[in-house]
Structure 1
Protein backbone atom coordinates (compact mmCIF):
# COMPACT_ATOMS: atom_id res chain seq x y z
CA UNK A 1 0.00 0.00 0.00
CA UNK A 2 1.45 3.37 -1.03
CA UNK A 3 1.99 5.86 1.77
CA UNK A 4 0.58 9.32 1.19
CA UNK A 5 2.98 12.23 1.44
CA UNK A 6 2.70 14.40 4.52
CA UNK A 7 0.93 17.70 3.77
CA UNK A 8 3.33 20.62 3.54
CA UNK A 9 1.54 22.42 6.39
CA UNK A 10 2.06 19.44 8.70
CA UNK A 11 5.74 19.33 7.80
CA UNK A 12 6.11 23.01 8.73
CA UNK A 13 4.07 22.86 11.90
CA UNK A 14 5.11 19.43 13.09
CA UNK A 15 3.27 17.63 15.86
CA UNK A 16 3.67 20.25 18.56
CA UNK A 17 2.13 18.16 21.32
CA UNK A 18 4.63 15.36 20.69
CA UNK A 19 7.70 17.59 20.31
CA UNK A 20 8.60 18.34 23.92
CA UNK A 21 10.38 21.69 24.26
CA UNK A 22 11.34 21.74 20.57
CA UNK A 23 11.50 24.70 18.19
CA UNK A 24 8.96 23.94 15.46
CA UNK A 25 10.05 23.91 11.80
CA UNK A 26 7.81 26.89 10.97
CA UNK A 27 9.45 28.94 13.73
CA UNK A 28 12.88 28.14 12.32
CA UNK A 29 11.82 29.08 8.79
CA UNK A 30 10.32 32.39 9.90
CA UNK A 31 13.53 33.17 11.81
CA UNK A 32 15.58 32.51 8.68
CA UNK A 33 13.25 34.73 6.67
CA UNK A 34 13.47 37.63 9.13
CA UNK A 35 17.27 37.64 9.43
CA UNK A 36 18.00 39.32 6.04
CA UNK A 37 15.57 42.18 6.86
CA UNK A 38 17.26 42.77 10.21
CA UNK A 39 20.74 42.49 8.71
CA UNK A 40 19.91 45.09 6.06
CA UNK A 41 18.48 47.46 8.69
CA UNK A 42 21.60 46.97 10.82
CA UNK A 43 23.95 47.78 7.93
CA UNK A 44 22.07 50.95 7.03
CA UNK A 45 21.22 52.31 10.46
CA UNK A 46 24.36 51.37 12.36
CA UNK A 47 26.79 51.55 9.45
CA UNK A 48 25.51 54.74 7.78
CA UNK A 49 23.47 56.65 10.41
CA UNK A 50 23.96 59.95 8.56
CA UNK A 51 22.43 58.63 5.31
CA UNK A 52 18.97 57.49 6.36
CA UNK A 53 17.41 59.91 3.86
CA UNK A 54 19.03 57.87 1.06
CA UNK A 55 18.79 54.35 2.42
CA UNK A 56 15.92 54.10 4.92
CA UNK A 57 12.16 54.38 5.13
CA UNK A 58 12.31 57.84 6.66
CA UNK A 59 14.92 60.46 7.51
CA UNK A 60 16.21 60.14 11.07
CA UNK A 61 18.13 62.90 12.81
CA UNK A 62 20.43 63.01 14.73
CA UNK A 63 22.60 59.90 14.35
CA UNK A 64 22.17 58.45 17.85
CA UNK A 65 18.61 57.26 17.17
CA UNK A 66 19.49 55.17 14.08
CA UNK A 67 22.54 53.83 15.95
CA UNK A 68 20.30 52.52 18.75
CA UNK A 69 17.89 51.06 16.22
CA UNK A 70 20.75 49.51 14.24
CA UNK A 71 22.28 47.99 17.37
CA UNK A 72 18.90 46.50 18.24
CA UNK A 73 18.50 45.00 14.79
CA UNK A 74 22.06 43.67 14.92
CA UNK A 75 21.32 41.91 18.21
CA UNK A 76 18.12 40.66 16.57
CA UNK A 77 20.15 39.02 13.80
CA UNK A 78 22.02 37.03 16.42
CA UNK A 79 18.85 36.15 18.32
CA UNK A 80 16.97 34.87 15.28
CA UNK A 81 20.04 32.93 14.17
CA UNK A 82 19.85 31.15 17.51
CA UNK A 83 16.11 30.57 17.03
CA UNK A 84 16.90 28.91 13.71
CA UNK A 85 19.62 26.70 15.20
CA UNK A 86 18.80 26.01 18.86
CA UNK A 87 17.08 22.76 19.83
CA UNK A 88 15.04 23.72 22.92
CA UNK A 89 12.15 26.19 22.71
CA UNK A 90 12.45 27.45 26.31
CA UNK A 91 15.86 28.94 25.45
CA UNK A 92 14.28 31.57 23.16
CA UNK A 93 10.61 31.65 24.16
CA UNK A 94 10.63 34.65 26.57
CA UNK A 95 12.13 36.99 23.98
CA UNK A 96 9.20 36.43 21.61
CA UNK A 97 6.84 38.31 23.95
CA UNK A 98 9.16 41.31 23.94
CA UNK A 99 9.47 41.19 20.16
CA UNK A 100 5.69 40.97 19.82
CA UNK A 101 5.32 44.10 21.97
CA UNK A 102 7.95 45.87 19.89
CA UNK A 103 6.30 45.01 16.55
CA UNK A 104 2.97 46.39 17.76
CA UNK A 105 4.68 49.61 18.84
CA UNK A 106 6.32 49.94 15.41
CA UNK A 107 3.03 49.28 13.61
CA UNK A 108 1.12 51.84 15.67
CA UNK A 109 3.89 54.44 15.32
CA UNK A 110 3.84 53.93 11.55
CA UNK A 111 0.10 54.59 11.37
CA UNK A 112 0.29 57.62 13.67
CA UNK A 113 3.17 59.19 11.73
CA UNK A 114 2.41 58.01 8.21
CA UNK A 115 3.21 61.41 6.73
CA UNK A 116 6.80 61.29 8.02
CA UNK A 117 7.79 58.32 5.87
CA UNK A 118 9.42 58.45 2.47
CA UNK A 119 6.60 56.85 0.49
CA UNK A 120 8.63 56.72 -2.72
CA UNK A 121 11.50 54.69 -1.26
CA UNK A 122 11.54 50.89 -1.58
CA UNK A 123 12.56 50.52 2.07
CA UNK A 124 9.26 52.13 3.03
CA UNK A 125 7.39 49.21 1.47
CA UNK A 126 9.67 46.73 3.23
CA UNK A 127 9.04 48.50 6.54
CA UNK A 128 5.27 48.48 6.03
CA UNK A 129 5.21 44.80 5.03
CA UNK A 130 7.41 43.83 7.97
CA UNK A 131 5.30 45.64 10.56
CA UNK A 132 2.00 44.70 9.01
CA UNK A 133 2.85 40.98 9.21
CA UNK A 134 5.01 40.53 12.32
CA UNK A 135 2.53 41.91 14.92
CA UNK A 136 0.33 38.92 14.07
CA UNK A 137 2.99 36.41 13.06
CA UNK A 138 5.28 36.66 16.11
CA UNK A 139 2.54 36.18 18.74
CA UNK A 140 1.06 33.36 16.65
CA UNK A 141 4.40 31.56 16.55
CA UNK A 142 4.78 32.01 20.30
CA UNK A 143 1.32 30.53 20.98
CA UNK A 144 1.87 27.67 18.55
CA UNK A 145 5.34 26.79 19.75
CA UNK A 146 4.38 27.04 23.41
CA UNK A 147 2.33 23.87 22.88
CA UNK A 148 5.67 22.06 23.00
CA UNK A 149 6.34 23.39 26.50
CA UNK A 150 5.90 20.62 29.09
CA UNK A 151 5.07 23.36 31.64
CA UNK A 152 7.15 21.83 34.37
CA UNK A 153 10.51 22.67 35.79
CA UNK A 154 13.19 20.20 34.76
CA UNK A 155 16.79 19.77 35.70
CA UNK A 156 18.39 21.91 33.03
CA UNK A 157 21.54 23.14 34.71
CA UNK A 158 22.03 26.16 37.00
CA UNK A 159 19.19 28.46 38.03
CA UNK A 160 19.13 32.23 38.23
CA UNK A 161 19.80 33.61 41.74
CA UNK A 162 16.71 35.00 43.44
CA UNK A 163 18.28 38.47 43.70
CA UNK A 164 18.83 38.55 39.93
CA UNK A 165 15.23 37.54 39.28
CA UNK A 166 13.85 40.18 41.65
CA UNK A 167 16.07 42.99 40.34
CA UNK A 168 15.65 41.97 36.70
CA UNK A 169 11.90 41.61 36.99
CA UNK A 170 11.55 44.90 38.84
CA UNK A 171 13.66 46.69 36.22
CA UNK A 172 11.57 45.11 33.48
CA UNK A 173 8.31 46.36 34.99
CA UNK A 174 9.65 49.88 35.53
CA UNK A 175 11.05 50.14 31.99
CA UNK A 176 7.89 48.69 30.41
CA UNK A 177 5.58 51.11 32.26
CA UNK A 178 7.88 54.02 31.41
CA UNK A 179 7.96 52.96 27.74
CA UNK A 180 4.16 52.87 27.57
CA UNK A 181 3.93 56.35 29.09
CA UNK A 182 6.55 57.75 26.71
CA UNK A 183 4.83 56.12 23.74
CA UNK A 184 1.48 57.69 24.66
CA UNK A 185 2.99 61.06 25.62
CA UNK A 186 6.10 61.53 23.43
CA UNK A 187 6.32 65.22 24.38
CA UNK A 188 7.74 64.11 27.74
CA UNK A 189 10.68 62.57 25.95
CA UNK A 190 11.05 65.40 23.46
CA UNK A 191 11.49 67.92 26.26
CA UNK A 192 13.96 65.96 28.37
CA UNK A 193 15.92 63.48 26.25
CA UNK A 194 19.73 63.81 25.99
CA UNK A 195 19.60 64.13 22.19
CA UNK A 196 16.98 65.59 19.88
CA UNK A 197 13.96 63.40 19.11
CA UNK A 198 10.76 63.97 17.16
CA UNK A 199 7.33 62.53 18.04
CA UNK A 200 8.02 59.63 15.64
CA UNK A 201 11.51 58.83 16.88
CA UNK A 202 10.37 59.20 20.51
CA UNK A 203 7.74 56.52 19.91
CA UNK A 204 10.20 54.32 18.03
CA UNK A 205 12.66 54.50 20.92
CA UNK A 206 9.83 53.82 23.38
CA UNK A 207 9.11 50.65 21.39
CA UNK A 208 12.71 49.51 21.84
CA UNK A 209 12.51 50.27 25.56
CA UNK A 210 9.31 48.23 25.78
CA UNK A 211 11.05 45.25 24.14
CA UNK A 212 13.84 45.49 26.73
CA UNK A 213 11.39 45.83 29.59
CA UNK A 214 9.11 42.97 28.60
CA UNK A 215 11.90 40.44 28.01
CA UNK A 216 13.53 41.34 31.33
CA UNK A 217 10.20 40.95 33.10
CA UNK A 218 9.28 37.68 31.43
CA UNK A 219 12.60 35.84 31.42
CA UNK A 220 12.90 35.89 35.21
CA UNK A 221 9.67 33.87 35.49
CA UNK A 222 11.70 30.83 34.45
CA UNK A 223 14.25 29.72 37.05
CA UNK A 224 16.58 28.13 34.52
CA UNK A 225 19.71 29.97 33.38
CA UNK A 226 19.27 28.21 30.04
CA UNK A 227 16.09 30.25 29.50
CA UNK A 228 18.01 33.53 29.94
CA UNK A 229 21.35 32.69 28.37
CA UNK A 230 20.61 33.62 24.74
CA UNK A 231 18.78 36.76 25.82
CA UNK A 232 21.77 37.87 27.88
CA UNK A 233 24.14 37.15 24.99
CA UNK A 234 21.95 39.26 22.69
CA UNK A 235 21.81 42.09 25.23
CA UNK A 236 25.58 42.08 25.70
CA UNK A 237 25.98 42.40 21.94
CA UNK A 238 23.33 45.10 21.62
CA UNK A 239 24.45 47.28 24.56
CA UNK A 240 28.08 47.04 23.49
CA UNK A 241 27.18 48.34 20.03
CA UNK A 242 25.06 51.13 21.53
CA UNK A 243 27.90 52.31 23.78
CA UNK A 244 30.36 52.19 20.88
CA UNK A 245 27.80 54.29 19.01
CA UNK A 246 27.68 56.78 21.88
CA UNK A 247 31.42 57.33 21.47
CA UNK A 248 30.97 57.70 17.71
CA UNK A 249 28.35 60.47 17.94
CA UNK A 250 29.01 62.05 21.32
CA UNK A 251 28.38 65.42 19.68
CA UNK A 252 24.67 64.48 19.57
CA UNK A 253 24.47 64.63 23.37
CA UNK A 254 23.90 67.59 25.65
CA UNK A 255 26.48 67.20 28.44
CA UNK A 256 24.66 69.80 30.56
CA UNK A 257 21.59 67.57 30.64
CA UNK A 258 21.77 65.33 33.72
CA UNK A 259 19.76 62.71 31.85
CA UNK A 260 22.71 62.32 29.47
CA UNK A 261 24.81 60.89 32.27
CA UNK A 262 21.86 58.93 33.63
CA UNK A 263 21.18 57.23 30.30
CA UNK A 264 24.81 56.58 29.33
CA UNK A 265 25.80 55.63 32.86
CA UNK A 266 22.76 53.40 33.25
CA UNK A 267 23.52 51.52 30.03
CA UNK A 268 27.17 51.11 31.05
CA UNK A 269 26.22 49.84 34.50
CA UNK A 270 23.66 47.42 33.05
CA UNK A 271 26.16 46.07 30.52
CA UNK A 272 28.75 45.49 33.25
CA UNK A 273 26.14 43.76 35.41
CA UNK A 274 24.99 41.33 32.73
CA UNK A 275 28.58 40.55 31.71
CA UNK A 276 29.33 39.66 35.34
CA UNK A 277 26.11 37.63 35.50
CA UNK A 278 26.96 35.79 32.28
CA UNK A 279 30.52 34.92 33.35
CA UNK A 280 29.35 33.83 36.77
CA UNK A 281 26.53 31.61 35.48
CA UNK A 282 28.71 30.05 32.80
CA UNK A 283 31.19 28.92 35.46
CA UNK A 284 28.50 26.99 37.36
Structure 2
Protein backbone atom coordinates (compact mmCIF):
# COMPACT_ATOMS: atom_id res chain seq x y z
CA UNK A 1 0.00 0.00 0.00
CA UNK A 2 1.69 3.22 -1.19
CA UNK A 3 1.69 6.50 0.68
CA UNK A 4 1.30 10.05 -0.67
CA UNK A 5 2.36 12.40 2.11
CA UNK A 6 0.13 11.45 5.05
CA UNK A 7 -2.55 9.96 2.81
CA UNK A 8 -2.55 6.24 2.21
CA UNK A 9 -3.09 5.45 -1.47
CA UNK A 10 -5.38 2.46 -1.76
CA UNK A 11 -4.47 -0.57 -3.89
CA UNK A 12 -5.68 -0.29 -7.48
CA UNK A 13 -8.45 -2.81 -6.93
CA UNK A 14 -9.91 -0.76 -4.09
CA UNK A 15 -9.94 2.60 -5.89
CA UNK A 16 -13.53 3.18 -7.02
CA UNK A 17 -13.11 6.80 -8.24
CA UNK A 18 -15.80 8.04 -5.88
CA UNK A 19 -15.83 11.62 -4.63
CA UNK A 20 -15.31 11.66 -0.87
CA UNK A 21 -18.18 13.30 1.09
CA UNK A 22 -16.07 16.17 2.43
CA UNK A 23 -15.52 17.48 -1.11
CA UNK A 24 -19.18 18.17 -2.02
CA UNK A 25 -19.62 19.51 1.52
CA UNK A 26 -16.90 22.07 0.80
CA UNK A 27 -18.53 22.82 -2.55
CA UNK A 28 -21.89 23.50 -0.88
CA UNK A 29 -20.20 26.17 1.25
CA UNK A 30 -18.39 27.78 -1.69
CA UNK A 31 -21.25 27.95 -4.23
CA UNK A 32 -23.38 30.62 -2.48
CA UNK A 33 -20.26 32.72 -1.80
CA UNK A 34 -19.27 32.60 -5.46
CA UNK A 35 -22.79 33.33 -6.67
CA UNK A 36 -23.11 36.32 -4.34
CA UNK A 37 -19.78 37.71 -5.52
CA UNK A 38 -20.85 37.21 -9.14
CA UNK A 39 -24.10 39.13 -8.66
CA UNK A 40 -22.28 42.04 -6.98
CA UNK A 41 -19.41 42.28 -9.46
CA UNK A 42 -21.27 41.59 -12.70
CA UNK A 43 -24.55 43.23 -11.78
CA UNK A 44 -23.16 46.28 -10.01
CA UNK A 45 -19.58 46.77 -11.25
CA UNK A 46 -19.72 50.49 -10.57
CA UNK A 47 -20.65 50.06 -6.91
CA UNK A 48 -17.76 47.93 -5.62
CA UNK A 49 -16.70 50.61 -3.14
CA UNK A 50 -19.91 50.01 -1.19
CA UNK A 51 -20.59 46.35 -1.89
CA UNK A 52 -17.24 44.62 -2.26
CA UNK A 53 -13.93 44.07 -0.47
CA UNK A 54 -12.25 46.96 -2.25
CA UNK A 55 -13.07 49.65 -4.80
CA UNK A 56 -12.33 48.36 -8.30
CA UNK A 57 -11.96 50.60 -11.33
CA UNK A 58 -12.71 50.54 -14.23
CA UNK A 59 -15.90 48.48 -14.41
CA UNK A 60 -14.48 45.87 -16.78
CA UNK A 61 -12.15 44.46 -14.11
CA UNK A 62 -14.89 43.42 -11.65
CA UNK A 63 -16.81 41.83 -14.52
CA UNK A 64 -13.74 39.76 -15.45
CA UNK A 65 -13.40 38.58 -11.85
CA UNK A 66 -17.15 37.91 -11.75
CA UNK A 67 -16.81 35.68 -14.81
CA UNK A 68 -14.34 33.52 -12.91
CA UNK A 69 -16.72 33.37 -9.96
CA UNK A 70 -19.67 32.14 -12.01
CA UNK A 71 -17.43 29.61 -13.73
CA UNK A 72 -16.28 28.49 -10.29
CA UNK A 73 -19.86 28.27 -9.05
CA UNK A 74 -20.77 26.03 -11.99
CA UNK A 75 -17.71 23.87 -11.28
CA UNK A 76 -18.60 23.37 -7.62
CA UNK A 77 -22.28 22.75 -8.41
CA UNK A 78 -21.09 19.90 -10.60
CA UNK A 79 -18.82 18.68 -7.79
CA UNK A 80 -21.91 18.37 -5.58
CA UNK A 81 -23.79 16.27 -8.14
CA UNK A 82 -21.01 14.21 -9.72
CA UNK A 83 -20.13 10.74 -8.47
CA UNK A 84 -16.84 10.15 -10.32
CA UNK A 85 -13.62 11.86 -9.23
CA UNK A 86 -12.14 11.78 -12.74
CA UNK A 87 -14.78 14.29 -13.86
CA UNK A 88 -13.82 17.02 -11.37
CA UNK A 89 -10.29 16.36 -10.13
CA UNK A 90 -8.43 18.41 -12.75
CA UNK A 91 -10.03 21.66 -11.63
CA UNK A 92 -9.10 21.61 -7.96
CA UNK A 93 -5.39 22.29 -8.40
CA UNK A 94 -6.03 25.35 -10.58
CA UNK A 95 -8.58 26.58 -8.03
CA UNK A 96 -5.94 26.12 -5.33
CA UNK A 97 -3.48 28.22 -7.32
CA UNK A 98 -6.10 30.90 -8.00
CA UNK A 99 -7.09 31.16 -4.34
CA UNK A 100 -3.47 31.14 -3.14
CA UNK A 101 -2.53 33.97 -5.49
CA UNK A 102 -5.47 36.06 -4.32
CA UNK A 103 -4.48 35.41 -0.72
CA UNK A 104 -0.94 36.62 -1.45
CA UNK A 105 -2.27 39.65 -3.34
CA UNK A 106 -4.41 40.52 -0.32
CA UNK A 107 -1.35 40.59 1.92
CA UNK A 108 0.72 42.59 -0.59
CA UNK A 109 -1.99 45.20 -1.10
CA UNK A 110 -3.54 45.13 2.37
CA UNK A 111 -3.90 48.92 2.46
CA UNK A 112 -6.05 48.95 -0.71
CA UNK A 113 -8.94 47.04 0.87
CA UNK A 114 -12.02 48.37 2.64
CA UNK A 115 -11.21 47.13 6.15
CA UNK A 116 -14.47 48.45 7.54
CA UNK A 117 -16.49 46.30 5.17
CA UNK A 118 -17.88 42.88 6.05
CA UNK A 119 -17.17 41.91 2.43
CA UNK A 120 -13.44 42.41 3.01
CA UNK A 121 -13.29 40.11 6.02
CA UNK A 122 -15.27 37.48 4.13
CA UNK A 123 -12.79 37.89 1.26
CA UNK A 124 -9.80 37.55 3.61
CA UNK A 125 -11.28 34.54 5.40
CA UNK A 126 -11.99 32.85 2.07
CA UNK A 127 -8.59 33.35 0.50
CA UNK A 128 -6.58 32.65 3.64
CA UNK A 129 -8.32 29.26 4.06
CA UNK A 130 -9.55 28.09 0.64
CA UNK A 131 -6.11 27.17 -0.80
CA UNK A 132 -5.51 24.74 2.07
CA UNK A 133 -9.04 23.31 2.09
CA UNK A 134 -9.22 22.76 -1.66
CA UNK A 135 -5.74 21.25 -1.82
CA UNK A 136 -6.60 18.94 1.08
CA UNK A 137 -9.73 17.83 -0.78
CA UNK A 138 -7.68 17.07 -3.88
CA UNK A 139 -5.09 15.06 -1.94
CA UNK A 140 -7.74 13.06 -0.08
CA UNK A 141 -9.61 12.15 -3.26
CA UNK A 142 -6.42 11.08 -5.02
CA UNK A 143 -6.39 8.12 -2.64
CA UNK A 144 -9.39 6.66 -4.43
CA UNK A 145 -8.66 7.87 -7.97
CA UNK A 146 -9.16 4.88 -10.25
CA UNK A 147 -7.03 3.97 -13.27
CA UNK A 148 -8.42 4.87 -16.73
CA UNK A 149 -11.36 2.80 -17.93
CA UNK A 150 -11.28 1.11 -21.29
CA UNK A 151 -14.42 2.93 -22.43
CA UNK A 152 -13.07 6.41 -21.65
CA UNK A 153 -12.90 8.51 -24.83
CA UNK A 154 -9.47 9.99 -25.54
CA UNK A 155 -8.57 13.39 -26.98
CA UNK A 156 -6.62 13.27 -30.25
CA UNK A 157 -2.95 14.30 -30.42
CA UNK A 158 -3.57 17.60 -32.24
CA UNK A 159 -6.28 18.71 -29.80
CA UNK A 160 -4.09 17.59 -26.92
CA UNK A 161 -1.17 19.71 -28.14
CA UNK A 162 -3.36 22.77 -28.72
CA UNK A 163 -5.01 22.47 -25.29
CA UNK A 164 -1.67 22.03 -23.53
CA UNK A 165 -0.18 25.01 -25.37
CA UNK A 166 -3.16 27.21 -24.52
CA UNK A 167 -3.10 26.15 -20.88
CA UNK A 168 0.62 26.77 -20.65
CA UNK A 169 0.24 30.20 -22.24
CA UNK A 170 -2.54 31.12 -19.81
CA UNK A 171 -0.40 30.04 -16.86
CA UNK A 172 2.64 31.99 -18.04
CA UNK A 173 0.50 35.06 -18.76
CA UNK A 174 -1.07 34.87 -15.33
CA UNK A 175 2.23 34.43 -13.50
CA UNK A 176 3.83 37.33 -15.39
CA UNK A 177 0.89 39.58 -14.52
CA UNK A 178 1.13 38.55 -10.90
CA UNK A 179 4.91 38.77 -10.60
CA UNK A 180 5.72 41.92 -12.59
CA UNK A 181 2.55 44.03 -12.97
CA UNK A 182 4.64 47.07 -13.88
CA UNK A 183 5.58 45.36 -17.16
CA UNK A 184 1.99 44.48 -18.07
CA UNK A 185 0.04 47.57 -16.98
CA UNK A 186 1.30 49.94 -19.74
CA UNK A 187 0.27 47.58 -22.56
CA UNK A 188 -2.88 45.98 -21.12
CA UNK A 189 -6.18 46.52 -23.00
CA UNK A 190 -7.73 48.43 -20.10
CA UNK A 191 -6.55 50.32 -17.05
CA UNK A 192 -5.08 48.20 -14.25
CA UNK A 193 -3.49 48.88 -10.89
CA UNK A 194 -0.85 46.59 -9.37
CA UNK A 195 -3.61 44.92 -7.32
CA UNK A 196 -6.05 44.43 -10.19
CA UNK A 197 -3.24 43.26 -12.46
CA UNK A 198 -2.44 40.52 -9.96
CA UNK A 199 -6.12 39.61 -9.62
CA UNK A 200 -6.60 39.34 -13.39
CA UNK A 201 -3.37 37.32 -13.52
CA UNK A 202 -4.84 34.88 -11.00
CA UNK A 203 -7.90 34.51 -13.26
CA UNK A 204 -5.64 33.62 -16.18
CA UNK A 205 -3.95 30.97 -14.03
CA UNK A 206 -7.25 29.07 -13.87
CA UNK A 207 -6.50 28.05 -17.45
CA UNK A 208 -3.69 25.85 -16.13
CA UNK A 209 -6.34 23.16 -15.53
CA UNK A 210 -5.90 22.23 -19.20
CA UNK A 211 -2.37 20.99 -18.50
CA UNK A 212 -3.96 17.77 -17.25
CA UNK A 213 -3.91 16.55 -20.88
CA UNK A 214 -0.12 16.20 -20.69
CA UNK A 215 -0.49 13.17 -18.42
CA UNK A 216 -4.06 12.07 -19.04
CA UNK A 217 -5.81 12.63 -22.36
CA UNK A 218 -9.18 11.23 -21.36
CA UNK A 219 -12.04 13.56 -22.25
CA UNK A 220 -13.73 12.81 -18.93
CA UNK A 221 -10.88 14.67 -17.23
CA UNK A 222 -11.34 17.79 -19.33
CA UNK A 223 -15.05 18.04 -20.08
CA UNK A 224 -16.06 20.04 -17.03
CA UNK A 225 -13.02 22.30 -17.46
CA UNK A 226 -14.21 23.15 -20.98
CA UNK A 227 -17.71 23.91 -19.70
CA UNK A 228 -16.28 26.28 -17.08
CA UNK A 229 -14.09 27.93 -19.71
CA UNK A 230 -17.08 28.54 -21.97
CA UNK A 231 -19.03 30.16 -19.13
CA UNK A 232 -16.09 32.42 -18.29
CA UNK A 233 -15.30 33.43 -21.87
CA UNK A 234 -18.92 34.23 -22.76
CA UNK A 235 -19.24 36.45 -19.70
CA UNK A 236 -15.88 38.14 -20.30
CA UNK A 237 -16.73 38.93 -23.91
CA UNK A 238 -20.15 40.27 -22.91
CA UNK A 239 -18.43 42.33 -20.22
CA UNK A 240 -16.10 43.79 -22.83
CA UNK A 241 -19.13 44.80 -24.88
CA UNK A 242 -20.82 46.35 -21.83
CA UNK A 243 -17.67 48.21 -20.77
CA UNK A 244 -16.26 48.82 -24.24
CA UNK A 245 -15.46 52.38 -23.24
CA UNK A 246 -12.86 51.00 -20.82
CA UNK A 247 -10.86 49.37 -23.63
CA UNK A 248 -7.90 51.08 -25.30
CA UNK A 249 -8.38 50.46 -29.06
CA UNK A 250 -4.95 51.93 -29.80
CA UNK A 251 -3.17 49.12 -27.95
CA UNK A 252 -2.39 46.03 -30.07
CA UNK A 253 -2.96 43.73 -27.11
CA UNK A 254 -6.62 44.80 -27.03
CA UNK A 255 -7.32 43.20 -30.39
CA UNK A 256 -5.07 40.23 -29.69
CA UNK A 257 -6.91 39.50 -26.46
CA UNK A 258 -10.37 39.91 -27.99
CA UNK A 259 -9.57 37.70 -30.97
CA UNK A 260 -7.86 35.17 -28.71
CA UNK A 261 -10.89 34.94 -26.42
CA UNK A 262 -13.26 34.60 -29.38
CA UNK A 263 -11.11 31.93 -31.05
CA UNK A 264 -10.74 30.00 -27.79
CA UNK A 265 -14.50 30.10 -27.23
CA UNK A 266 -15.20 28.80 -30.75
CA UNK A 267 -12.59 26.05 -30.41
CA UNK A 268 -13.93 25.03 -26.99
CA UNK A 269 -17.49 24.75 -28.29
CA UNK A 270 -16.30 22.70 -31.26
CA UNK A 271 -14.26 20.40 -29.00
CA UNK A 272 -17.13 19.90 -26.59
CA UNK A 273 -19.51 19.03 -29.43
CA UNK A 274 -17.03 16.67 -31.12
CA UNK A 275 -16.12 14.84 -27.92
CA UNK A 276 -19.73 14.61 -26.74
CA UNK A 277 -20.57 12.96 -30.07
CA UNK A 278 -17.65 10.58 -29.63
CA UNK A 279 -18.87 9.68 -26.14
CA UNK A 280 -22.36 8.95 -27.40
CA UNK A 281 -20.98 6.79 -30.19
CA UNK A 282 -18.79 4.79 -27.80
CA UNK A 283 -21.42 4.52 -25.07
CA UNK A 284 -19.04 6.08 -22.51
CA UNK A 285 -20.50 7.89 -19.50
What is the TM-score of this pair, normalised by structure 1?
Answer: 0.91
Matching of residue 227 in structure 1 with residue 212 in structure 2: no
Structure-1 residue corresponding to 2:243:
249
Give 1:186's match in structure 2, choosing from 157, 177, 181.
181
CA distance in 2, matches of 1:220, 1:98: 15
Give 1:129's match in structure 2, choosing from 115, 120, 125.
125
Q: Is the 1:45–1:66 contact (alpha carbons within 8 Å) kept by the matching residues of 2? A: yes
Structure-1 residue corresponding to 2:115:
119
Structure-2 residue corresponding to 1:275:
269
Matching of residue 60 in structure 1 with residue 56 in structure 2: yes
Structure-2 residue corresponding to 1:168:
163
Superimposed CA distance per residue, residues 104-151 of structure 1 (whole angstroms, 9 cap, x where no aligned partner): 10000000000000000000010000001111111111001110112x
Number of aligned residues? 268
Superimposed CA distance per residue, residues 208-257 of structure 1 (whole angstroms, 9 cap, x where no aligned partner): 11111x20112453221111111111111111111111111100001111
CA distance in 1, matches of 2:71, 2:170: 19
What is the TM-score of this pair, normalised by structure 2?
Answer: 0.91
Superimposed CA distance per residue, residues 57-80 of structure 1 (whole angstroms, 9 cap, x where no aligned partner): 000000111001001101111100
CA RMSD of aligned residues (A): 1.4
CA distance in 2, matches of 1:69, 1:16: 36
Matching of residue 103 in structure 1 with residue 102 in structure 2: no
Matching of residue 71 in structure 1 with residue 76 in structure 2: no
Q: Is the 1:168–1:220 contact (alpha carbons within 8 Å) kept by the matching residues of 2? A: no
Superimposed CA distance per residue, residues 8-54 of structure 1 (whole angstroms, 9 cap, x where no aligned partner): xxxxxxx9844510111000100011001100100001111111011
Query: Cα–Cα, structure 1 residues 28 and 219, in superposed 2: closer, same or farther, change >3 Å?
Result: farther
Structure-1 residue corresponding to 2:281:
none
CA distance in 2, matches of 1:160, 1:154: 14
Q: Is the 1:232–1:278 contact (alpha carbons within 8 Å) kept by the matching residues of 2? A: yes
Matching of residue 39 in structure 1 with residue 35 in structure 2: yes
Give 2:256's match in structure 1, choosing from 248, 254, 262.
262
CA distance in 2, matches of 1:269, 1:282: 20
Q: CA deviation at 1:264?
A: 0.8
Q: Does the residue aligned with 1:51 lie in a helix, a strand or coil?
A: helix
